[in-house]
Amino acid sequence: MIKRMNWRMIFRFSVWMLCMGGIVVLMSFIAYKKQDLVCKGVSVLMPGAENFIERDEVDAILLQSQGVLTGRKLSEINLEKIEQNIRSNPYIAFAKVFADMDGIVHVEVKQRKPILRVINLRDQDFYVDADGLKMPVSSNFTANVIVANGKIQEYFSGKVDTLITGVAKDLFKTAAFLRKDTLWEAQIEQMYVNDKNDIELIPRVGNQRIILGSADSLEVKMRNLLAFYKQAMPKMGWETYKTINIKYTNQIVCEKTKVDSAVVKPGKSLTETFLPPDTIVDINKNIPGKTNNNKLNKSI
């Protein structure tokens, strides 16, 4: 018995075949048309505020790669090679090169976005971009980013490369965190790695050093610091402390800057320890219904 034909399925298949045939014909026509197309100009698009590489430098790459483009047949121009040469520039994160049916060669360039500048132990100076890749500094443009120096052993070969050392990775993680918060981006102007491999934050307001330690529990540490800034510093004074140690998530340890020698007794330290900031709200006062866990532990 002959099965009933599914005319709907046959119709759909026929339409699909016609569409595919049309696409093939159209693509063939475009390819044939491009054989005769002549380059009438070059359009370069470079969005963003970074100016590590200028338009004339892109033009120089184009000239070095394929020579003068205007007036030549598009079939004679190796667009893929141009794209590869542009991407080889250490300041370029992305490049796309294509030609349209009007004979215009389009060059789209996206520059790298540094978020950290590093000066290592060898006095090598380099940036770290938003993707965590090392990139060289430029004589054309200086990025307004946080600077890190001190005991940093991360080596820079001069080429775009990934971070290797744990300290450098922590610096990058910290810089990325600070950059996302307008308050911390404005307040923290430098990072320093001390002899204990602890990261220290240098603020714009106040003379104290903020000992961060590593980038572990970074969000918690910075939340503790913010609460300390809001609740403790106005009472103690912004110039009271030499260091604020937030490397431990369960306490904040502060070292005073100056203390009258007549007041300090032998065997006493110059440090003060605060409990977690959620209990700092009423320092040196009892909270009704709660134990006095929010007292400042003074060892002077």
CA distances from 36 to 17, 26, 30, 250 (A): 30, 16, 10, 73
Number of residues assigned to the chain: 300
Q: Domain 114-298 maps to which CATH number in 3.30.160.20, 1.10.420.10, 3.40.50.2300, 3.40.50.11690? A: 3.40.50.11690
| Distance, CA of 54 to CA of 158 (rounded, Å) | 20
Contact 20, 83 (CB under 8 A): no
With both helix axes pointing from N to C terminus, report the angle between 218-231 and 166-180 in degrees, rounded to the nearest 10: 50
Q: Which CATH superfamily is 41-111 part of?
A: membrane protein fhac (3.10.20.310)
The pTM score is: 0.75
Assigned token pair, 247: 């490397």
- Chain centre distance of CA 32: 45
DSSP characters over 26-48 = HHHHHHHHHHH-B--EEEEE--S
pLDDT in tens, the chain (300 residues): 445 556 667 666 666 667 766 665 555 555 555 567 899 999 999 887 678 888 888 999 999 888 899 989 888 889 999 999 999 999 999 999 999 888 999 999 999 999 999 999 999 999 999 999 999 999 888 999 999 999 999 999 999 999 999 999 999 999 999 999 999 999 999 999 999 999 999 998 878 899 999 999 999 999 999 988 888 888 887 888 889 999 988 888 888 886 543 333 344 455 667 655 443 433 333 333 333 333 333 333
